[in-house]
Amino acid sequence: MKWGVVTLFPNMVADALAHGVIGKAQQRGLVELTTFNPRAYATDLRQTVDDRPYGGGPGMLMKVEPLRASIADARKKLRTAPVVYLSPQGELLTQSLAQELAELPELILVCGRYEGIDERVVELDIDREVSLGDFVLSGGEPAAIAMCDAIGRLVPGVLGHVDSAAKDSFSDGLLDCPHYTRPEDIVNSRVPDVLLSGNHGDIAQWRRKQALGRTWLRRPEILEQKELSDEDQLLLDEFIRESKS
């Protein structure tokens, strides 16, 4: 998959995505990142990339011409890519949207800085506006990095273990079950016996029950929108009964 990221801080994005499974995926040629810096398209001596907002008020906006020229160049290299602007005004990024975007061959992400970008650039050059949640950052880069990470790990071959992505939290819409590693005992807090039993059927059932139970406790609205199988419903009923005793 080919990513183009339009950003005034290309090193921030490239450095962040050089680590771990996404860094390895780039080395293996499974994903490819190209950055486009609006500053490189600025035409004045000072290489200006900000401009004042009409109507006044504090803060600056991204200067239109260098921003549009950098997006145009990204489009030229990645001809089939939708152009996504990261902002709190966008549709929420979900695992299902990440899966949808991971199926594309190309994607362009635009990172805003300052107080954002001219609305006509959104209308003219942006295909989709995406938000990670209801909070404000100092720029779109951390959101673009998170989005590339969420999408990149879904690209076939990126995760070593073939089905790790399928087993993740959210792959079937539930929260993840708790995990344990050594030692068996930490200040009298023990690993649940079932995980030491070697009975893989029991272990799978316990994990499913914990995933259902935690979703019920922490994100009940997720369960309300989900049709549970009879087996899942029994496991959840058991979890709820045990939580009350």
Q: Interface residues for ligand 9WO in 160-189 (CB under 6 A)?
A: none
Q: CB–CB of 40/68 below 8 Å?
A: no
Pairing of the two strands 189-190 and 185-186: antiparallel
x-or-dash string of contact with ligand 9WO, 120-159, rule CB under 6 A: -----------xxx-xxx-xx--x----------------
Please say which residue, 130 or 211, places its beta carbon nearer to ligand 9WO.
130
Q: Interface residues for ligand 9WO in 29-88 (CB under 6 A)?
A: 86-88
Query: Hey, is 179 helix, strand or coil?
Result: coil
Q: Cα–Cα–Cα angle for 211, 213, 217, nearest 5°? A: 120
Q: Establish whether 32 is a catalytic residue.
A: no
Please say which residue, 69 or 137, places its beta carbon nearer to ligand 9WO.
137
Which amino acid, residue 149? D
Report how far residue 110's alpha carbon sits from residue 118's, in angstroms, rounded to the nearest whole number.
13
Q: Two tokens at 218?
A: 């922490």
Shortest spacing between CB 235 and ligand 9WO, in angstroms: 34
Neighbours of 193 (CB within 10 A): 9
Q: Establish whether 153 is a catalytic residue.
A: yes
Report how far residue 156's alpha carbon sits from residue 1's, in angstroms, rounded to the nearest whole number.
10
Q: Which of 68, 75, 113, 153 is catalytic?
A: 153
Count of positions on this chain that bind ligand 9WO (CB under 6 A): 15
Using CB under 6 A, pick the residue from 10, 38, 66, 112 that binds ligand 9WO: 112
Query: Hey, is 34 helix, strand or coil?
Result: strand
Q: Which of 115, 184, 202, 237 is catalytic?
A: 115
Which amino acid, residue 52? R
**Closest of 229, 188, 233 to residue 209, by C-alpha:** 233
Report how far residue 191's alpha carbon sits from residue 15's, in angstroms, rounded to the nearest whole number.
37
Q: Establish whether 51 is a catalytic residue.
A: no
Report how far residue 120's alpha carbon sits from residue 64's, in angstroms, rounded to the nearest whole number.
9
* Stretch in the footprint of ligand 9WO (CB under 6 A) among 36-44, 65-73, 111-119, 215-223: 111-119
Q: Which of 51, 65, 149, 168 is catalytic?
A: 168
**Closest of 170, 179, 37 to residue 111, by C-alpha:** 37
Please say which residue, 84 or 211, places its beta carbon nearer to ligand 9WO.
84
Report how far residue 125's alpha carbon sits from residue 110's, in angstroms, rounded to the nearest whole number.
10
Please say which residue, 22 or 147, places its beta carbon nearer to ligand 9WO.
147
Shortest spacing between CB 10 and ligand 9WO, in angstroms: 16
Shortest spacing between CB 118 and ligand 9WO, in angstroms: 12
Using CB under 6 A, pick the residue from 4, 10, 116, 152 that binds ligand 9WO: 116
Q: Establish whether 142 is a catalytic residue.
A: no
Catalytic residues: 88, 115, 153, 168
Q: Which residues bind ligand 9WO (CB under 6 A)?
A: 86-88, 112, 115-116, 131-133, 135-137, 139-140, 143
